[in-house]
Chains A and B, each alone.
Chain A
Amino acid sequence: MQKPPVALIAMGVFAALASLVPLGYLLIRLGSGFDKALAELSRPRTFELLGNTLLLTVSVTITAIVIGLFQAWLVTRSNLPFAGFFAVLGTLPLAIPSYVLALSYTSMFSWFSGFFASWITLSLATAPYVFLGVSAALVRVDTSQEEVARSLGLSRFRVFTKVTWPQIKTAATASGLLVALYTLSEFGAVSILRYDTFTRAIYNAYRGSFDRTAAASLAVVLVLLTLIALYFERRVRNRYLSVEASGRRNLVELGNWKVLAMTMFGVLGLFGAGFPIAALTGWAFVGSSRSTWGELLSALGSSLSLALLAGVVIGIFATAVALWNVRYGSRFSSLIETTVWSSHALPAIVVGLALVFVGANLTPWIYQTVWLLVFAYLILFLPNALSVIATPMGQVSRGQEQVARSLGLSQVGAIFKLVIPVATPGILAGMALASLTVLKELPATLLLRPNEVDTLATKLWSATETLSYAQAAPYALALIIIAGVPALALNAQARKLASEVR
């Protein structure tokens, strides 16, 4: 096995250390009140929260996987009409922050709250992660095996479970992990929908009682849950596959199911995107408060530049970690990857406060500058980009790489001339996903942004805080439109792959 270039190791180690910052901070907070933390954790309420959190996480993850899988299969493998349009519809909820989704429902139906509401909202918000991840994997599935299995008399369902599923399992569980950790760390929607989870309790501990020890002890539980989820994901998934997209194949004839499939897609799109956009547009016309174009444009400008900068930085680090792990995989590299994921279920407020603590006291020269904010985004969203970038990194087979080496290319030369160009669409997709999540991020942005810098998300927050919905509407709509661009880019990437096989 070859050794990875030093630069990859350095970047991977940096990324892992970055993710350890919030964990280190939690240990400091726990150390200053260990007895209190234990008392907090042994309350009956902790178990109630644990039950609530697990119930929501498991239900959302399963639902999102089922929805995303169906959508991906229909778009890539069936003769669904207008597949391109439905693919866009499947991606669109990604552009809508889940708190906006929740707010648009509750502003219409006040009874919409609790477990059921949170389950529906978060499933709709996260299904696109599975849809995109699984679509990209499905187009690489070797259909000749399926046809052989069919000819041997296996039912369509058995073919799926026996032949297709093993080949897309890695993508499905990886995106499932993303969904699970998203649900664990989600605050905005569950708080608007009044469902008590660990993350909501952590926010309330900070906000209600300024109790940092209690918050830290609850956050540690989230880290443990993350490690358990990671363990199961690692058990289930296969090694990264290095399979080329296979050639043109026969699409499954939907027949009478076509109408049902289109209806399902339509309904999901209606609730995941159509409804919130309609509600926001409605807000713009009620009430008298208005926002000025100047403010809107300046917020738009800072949102765009932050998202772009963070997207590029995160994309570069994700490329390095994925390259190392996929092409030169070792125990060390997989430890690095696990570390990067380990803090992904932490609520953004914990990561934000950890960096406030470190920034103000240890590195005042970058505190409240864009750089510390981008560093926070790196910790928060590197796993998102990683989940997209890992698969394309395996596309150039080791054999091809060796041929290139034998023709005189150096190791680094082979990476830049061969591996990266082939993986570029995947890398861009990873950057797009990172930019998209950065655009929607609120709690860490509020804590770490430079003074007097506003983004669309912070403006939206301050307008809804004062209940000026008419004022909030343009920011929310601008956010959705801007976030729609990377969402569509991601989708275009998936569709390009799909069109190769359709």
Chain B
Amino acid sequence: MRISRAIAAALVAVTTLTGCGVQAPVEEKNSIVVYAGRSEELVRPLIDQFEEETGISVEVRYAGSAELAAQLLEEGKNSPADVFFAQDAGALGAIAKAGLLTKLPSEIYDLVPTSYSAADGSWVGVSGRVRVLNYNPETVTQLPASVYDLADPSWKGRIGIAPTNASFQAFVTAMRVLDGDEKTLVWLEAMKQNAVLFEKNGAILEAVEAGQIDAGLINHYYWFARAQEVGLENMKSALGQFRASDAGNLINAAGVGILKDSTAARKFVEYLLSETGQAYFAEETREYPLVEGVKMVDDLTPLSEIPAPNVDLSDLDTLDQTLELIRQAGLI
């Protein structure tokens, strides 16, 4: 793992050296193409504002993060994209591994704590999301202390998971990094027995809300989005965390990387990490700002108070083995 990262770093260094020369000035540009794996509804107002403030015109391609990553991999060096704004670290990691991202300048990279960014500086986190237990307070009166407790036969048919979902897979990777493959596999096999399987986090939330299952593992903001759609008072389910440092409390991030370096691309990334950009995501999606010193939305638990496990997001790049375990357990 460490070796592959060293190779990746070397690759980035080589491409920078051969591609642009050592101290070549950054290309001046006033229009960029952004591949956005986040929803148009969410991103567009911010981009409109960016265009207005900077005079840089932005052409955006919206699709799922994974589909865009697959598209970028096929396009290779001939991609029309300047910037990739992805929903999760996995999609960015795949692009970085293929050597398609340039190393970010330190004035951008240093804005965000390194645990939410790529270790080799190829991408940087923009907003954080927390894995939570979404539960029905009527049927779940005592919260399980650990995500491992869900393996207990008493949870049979009551807990929802989304094994093909990128956030779930990132959480399983964290579990592997923290507790080892063996323990993870045992848990996954128990989940094969206990869990009701869903395709998406949102579908789990719906099932908990409808009382079809008692609890589910999701990202925190789905609950807030739903509350916005139907009204807080109409929410039947609640959110809970596991005990401190539990893998089930993983903090993950959406992030951004630059494929073709230019002044405009840098300005765009800086804008996402500016006070305006950070506050925007916090308010619109109820995600967490990752740049320090940006004010939080009132009803969210501050990121520092989340009992999250101590995992570096760029350590979650062994998705292959995770998928292998999930398959072995028969969940996908």
Contacts and interface: CB of A to CB of B under 8 A. Distances in A.
B80 A206 contact: no
Contacts of B226: 467
A467 B75 contact: no
B197 A194 contact: yes
A110 B41 contact: no
Contact of B64 (A191, A207, A470): A207
Contacts of A468: 41, 229
A454 to B, nearest CB: 8
A171 B99 CA distance: 52
A465 B201 CA distance: 10
A353 B71 CA distance: 7
A451 B33 contact: yes
A9 interface: no
A174 to B, nearest CB: 33
B152 interface: no
A228 interface: no
Interface stretch (A145-153, A356-364, A417-425): A356-364
A446 interface: yes
A431 B7 CA distance: 53
B40 interface: yes
Nearest to B199: A191
A288 B230 contact: yes
Contacts of A360: 74-76, 78-80
Given A208-B319, A447-B63, A462-B39, A110 B210 contact: yes
B199 A287 contact: no
B230 A287 contact: yes
Interface residues of B, number: 50
A367 interface: yes
A409 interface: no
A480 B272 CA distance: 38
Contacts of B206: 107, 110, 467
A353 B73 CA distance: 10
A447 to B, nearest CB: 6
A467 B75 CA distance: 30
Interface in B9-32: none
A289 B229 contact: yes
Contacts of A191: 199
A254 interface: no
A206 B90 CA distance: 12
A204 interface: yes
A209 B80 contact: no
B257 to A, nearest CB: 15
A357 B75 CA distance: 6
Report the 8 A-B pairs with minimum CB-CB distance, sorted nearest first. Answer: A207-B66, A360-B75, A210-B94, A357-B74, A467-B202, A356-B74, A287-B229, A110-B212
Interface of B: 33, 39-42, 59-64, 66-67, 69-71, 73-76, 78-80, 91, 94, 164, 166, 169, 197-199, 202-203, 205-207, 210, 212, 222, 225-226, 228-231, 319-320, 323, 327, 332
15 contacts: A194-B197, A204-B332, A206-B70, A207-B64, A210-B69, A288-B230, A353-B71, A361-B76, A364-B80, A452-B59, A462-B41, A466-B225, A467-B202, A467-B222, A468-B229
